[in-house]
A and B are shown apart, each in its own frame.
Chain A
Amino acid sequence: MSGETAITIAGMALILYATRTAGFWLVGRVPALPAAEFDQLAGVTLVALTAPAIVSAGTPGLLGCAVAAIVALRSGNVLLSMAAAMIVVWVARL
């Protein structure tokens, strides 16, 4: 591995570790980050991660995600939901 490549990757690794830990570290040390409504943060962050992925997945993806939601609500099994969605999308794309 060249020195340039090593330095670039090392810098990227440092930046990733810093962002992975800084939010965790800051809560409670910065008064602007109250712990009160944090039980909502997990849900809304996951929604924000998911919504654009569903929108850009097109109609088959939308169908698959709807099936995943139904299977998850019925069974509580994430793996089963993923498999069901993949089958639905695979069939829809045929």
Chain B
Amino acid sequence: MPGHEEGEECDDAPVGFSAHGVSSGLARALPLGLGGAAYGVVFGVLAGNAHLGLVEAVAMSAFVYSGAAQVAALGLWSSHLPFFTIWLATFLVSVRYLVLGASLRPWLGRARPGRAYGSLFLLTDESWALTQAELRAGRRDAGFLLGAGLANFATWTGGTAVGRILGGQVPDPSAWSLDVAPAAIFVALLAGLWRGRVDLLPWLAAAAIAAVAHQAIPGPWYVLLGAAAGMVAAHARGKLNRER
């Protein structure tokens, strides 16, 4: 197994995938999983309200493993399951993963395919964002994404089980301000990704379009539209700089 030390060489170096990378991903993501666990509990309660059994709720969290898709599906759940409507809704809330996956290509594409496609099963917004911060810090071990994903997996499925078992006895997460945890984590990670003025215009464009789209269009399209606006701004600014 290649050591994680290899990862810090030049950009063309093969990316290492070590147990050390996996455990550092786990260690980084697990304490942050508090917010994820709280949402897992909320999902478990909602699943109970929609008459899913414990096994069904946990199976959905383990195999689908996406809060947005699962909550959308529960909204459509009924005694005669509308398969295709649920699947369409699932796809629509998951389109953003196309962008997240694509952005991992330059780095994860150098890991062995089996490891890359295995790790991608556990890809979440959180593990993706933590991985971006890890890459920006110069650490390039591909095991990190898997470790962070495993930590999220544990808190999400565990939270689901707890919520399904406890049902209505669960307190509202906003009582402990757990509802702001995801936004705070994203902001802290963004602070780490900030490189200076080169980011200003693309980030402003992305924030403005995402905020407007979130208000105007139901569903998660704001992620795609915001990211696209940011990329257009980055492209335009790069083009201007090259012409000067």
Contacts and interface: CB of A to CB of B under 8 A. Distances in A.
Interface of A: 1, 4-5, 7-13, 15-17, 19-28, 33, 35, 37-38, 40-57, 60-61, 64-65, 68-69, 71-73, 76, 78-79, 81-82, 84-87, 89-90, 93
13 contacts: A7-B83, A9-B60, A13-B64, A17-B120, A23-B102, A42-B132, A44-B203, A44-B230, A46-B132, A55-B211, A61-B180, A82-B32, A86-B178
Contact of B65 (A16, A23, A26): A16
Interface of B: 28, 31-32, 34-35, 52-53, 55-56, 59-60, 63-66, 69-70, 73, 80-81, 83, 86-87, 90-91, 94-106, 108-109, 116-117, 120-121, 123, 125, 129-130, 132-133, 135, 176-195, 199, 202-203, 205-211, 214-215, 222-227, 229-231, 233-235, 238
Given A19-B91, A81-B188, A1 B103 contact: no
Give the interface SS of chain A, mostly helix, strand, loop or mixed: helix
Given A27-B109, A42-B193, A48-B207, A57 B183 contact: yes
Contacts of A48: 206-207, 209-210, 222-227, 229-230
A46 B189 contact: yes
Give the interface SS of chain B, mostly helix, strand, loop or mixed: helix
A82 B34 CA distance: 10
B99 A45 contact: yes
Given A28-B105, A44-B230, A68-B188, A22 B63 contact: no
